Amino acid sequence: MLRERLTVARSALSGMSETVRQGHLPARALAIGDSRGLVRALFLASAARADLLPYLRSERSLGELIAHTGCRRPDRLRAWLGVGADLGELRRRGDRYRVVGIRGRALAGGDKLLIAHYRSMLEYQVGPYAEFEELLADEPGQGRGDLGRYADDIARVSLAAAPFVSSMVRNTVAELRPARILDVGCGTGIYTKVALESDPGVHADGIDLAEDVIRSARQELADSGLSSRAELHVGDVRDWLPSSGNKFELVMLLNNIYYFDRTRRQELYRELGASLVDGGQLLVVTMTAPGSVAAAHLHFMLICQEGTASLPERAELLSDLAAAGYQTIEERNLVPTEPFVGIRARRVG
């Protein structure tokens, strides 16, 4: 027995020595850690996409899971469950499984932001990196179509910064006491809702290109009893504004200026300014580049889409507003550690 143990130990030491000689040991150790994190993210992303974890809040047998999913390859299902069990996201007792991991339980409980976050990994965050070489060969304007295809998930993922943005919206509404607000690219309607809840005298218009997202936003406002003070529209704000004839005390561009062509942002600011009453204000909130890994990743994702989306630089944002006839009256960082800014600007002249 002792001889066998010594043989195993010598073999292990020999393997370690060979590993050191063949490559960069610290880099390999880090790569192993990276791969474990990737496997966890991929497992949770596939679970969110398949919507399996809510079913696993109660312990289920493999047979029950086969029936629930209509699975024709139980070997693959068992292997997938094995990944979850070894990650600690699932508890395995024989052929019975239950979700137990912190992330997994949050997904099973219906955390919409987390569900969208993990779904987005499989659906569009991986794509630009996987297709990097092909994307380098694209003509200007060509690229991926993720922004339209996954609009709902993208809108939900952007809600990670909602507490910080909501605070600035509330403060702005409390100070201005606007009668009418325009929420450009209103998405899920969360900030339209925040503005309406901040002042019972406010009426809001919201507009977004994605019909499905607007449908969800309308339902959210109706469920909150706010729909009588809000009108949500599907379309491009640049086409809608001239025909609406509405004037606003406050126009909000929250987490979406990067979707507009860099060369036409000054023009957009001017068009929005024309819809403001005298002394009206524009509120712009956006991630800027450079400044963090998250900002760099988002900028890369945007650049790889069809069209001309890109994160603005902070100095560029301020200079564009000034050139479009605005005076900046407030500028602040909203999210600690991130280049995420909120700017209030007053139309002058």
Q: What band does 75 get if pLDDT is binned at 50, 70 and 90?
A: very high
pLDDT at 15 over 90: no
pLDDT at 98 over 60: yes
What local confidence, expressed as pLDDT, does residue 151 receive? Answer: 80
What local confidence, expressed as pLDDT, does residue 223 receive? Answer: 94
DSSP 31-77: HHHHHHHHHHHHHHHHHHHHT-GGGGGS-EEHHHHHHHHT-S-HHHH
Determine the average pLDDT of the residues in 326-335.
94
Q: Is 214 helix (H, G, I), strand (E, B) or coil?
A: helix
pLDDT in tens, 271-330: 999 999 999 999 999 999 999 999 999 999 999 999 999 999 999 999 999 999 999 999
What local confidence, expressed as pLDDT, does residue 340 receive? Answer: 96
What local confidence, expressed as pLDDT, does residue 157 receive? Answer: 85
pLDDT at 234 over 80: yes
Structure tokens at 121: 């990994």
* Calpha distance 41→35 (Å, rounded): 10
Determine the average pLDDT of the residues in 144-165.
86
Burial 37-75 (b: 16+ CB within 10 A, else e): eeebbebbbbbbeeebbebbeeebebebbbeeeeeeeee
Determine the average pLDDT of the residues in 81-88.
97
Q: How many helices (H) and strands (E) does the chain have?
A: 17, 10
Angle at 246 between CA 243 and CA 249, to 5 degrees: 145
pLDDT at 4 over 70: no
pLDDT at 349 over 70: no
The CA-atom distances, in angstroms, between 208 and each of 122, 186, 238 are: 25, 6, 11
Determine the average pLDDT of the residues in 244-266.
94
Least reliable range by pLDDT among 58-72, 143-157, 245-259:
143-157
Greater model confidence, 196 or 349: 196
Determine the average pLDDT of the residues in 16-39.
75
- The widest CA-to-CA distance across the chain, in whole angstroms, is 91
What local confidence, expressed as pLDDT, does residue 1 receive? Answer: 61
What is the overall mean pLDDT for the chain?
Answer: 91
What local confidence, expressed as pLDDT, does residue 18 receive? Answer: 57
pTM of the model: 0.84
Closest CA to 196 of 205, 187, 188: 205
